[in-house]
Amino acid sequence: MIIQFSTGGRSGAGETRGGMLPLSPDMASLSVGSNNFPTRVYENPPDLVDWLAAQMLRHNVKPEIEAFDLSHILKARDMVDKGQLAGTPYVQFVMGVKNAMPVDRDVFDYYIHTVRRLFGADAPWCAAGIGAQQFTLNDWAICSGGHARTGLEDNVRLDRDTLAPSNAGLVTRAAQLCEKYERPVADWRQARAILGLRELST
């Protein structure tokens, strides 16, 4: 099992967004820059980003860098260079949020290029698509050697006319893409190793 918390804007305001980090989950999301959301600005001011990163270092929490924009990947590199992030970050491309980065294959491919250029060819990365774009981003990520995010938080449908029965239904659909592209599905031990998480005693 991997336990991940969110420090996103829906978790509160200011430092309350990191109030759960002393519980030392395995991972926590970290948005390193601001961007537009459908009806508001998703604010991630530098002082808050720095504080959240420091709390993650203090409590041995692996950040998942949520990249809503190319500049967020470059910011993650800068934070690594300054010692604000430990090891190789796990970068997740978020595409399809209204008023933010749309689902664009050329941009997606350049994101991959940028992660590999800045963090190395073996750096792990993930992609998330919002709403109807979830399946598209699952397909692009899996066929391109990355990892895929799926689930009801981002999308509630299997297709235009069918509600997803559960998270498991969306996971099954992503696993079918893994089979299509001959990408084996990691078990929990392999997933922890890929993400660079601490080993657990069994």
Distance between CA 17 and CA 92 in Å, rounded?
Answer: 19
Q: Is the pLDDT of residue 11 over 70?
A: no
Q: Is the pLDDT of residue 202 over 70?
A: no
Distances from the Cα of 142 to the Cα of 11, 32, 138, 182, angstroms: 29, 25, 6, 9
Structure confidence at residue 199 (pLDDT): 81
Please state the CATH superfamily assignment of the domain spanning residues 4-195 in this structure: Aldolase class I (3.20.20.70)
Tell me the mean pLDDT in the region 52-61.
97
Any idea where the domains of the chain sit in the sequence?
4-195
> Does the global pTM surpass 0.85?
yes
Structure confidence at residue 144 (pLDDT): 98
Q: Is the pLDDT of residue 12 over 80?
A: no
- By CB atoms closer than 10 A (0-12, 13-18, 19+), residue 162 is exposed
Mean of per-residue pLDDT scores for the chain:
95
Question: Which among 145, 154, 153 has a CA at the least distance from the CA of 178?
Answer: 145
Reported as a single tens digit per residue, the pLDDT across 116-164 is 999 999 999 999 999 999 999 999 999 999 999 999 999 999 988 999 9
Structure confidence at residue 198 (pLDDT): 85
| Residue 9 pLDDT class (50, 70, 90 cuts) | confident
| Residue 176 pLDDT class (50, 70, 90 cuts) | very high
Strand partners, 65: 30, 91
- What is the CB neighbour count within 10 angstroms for residue 49? 20
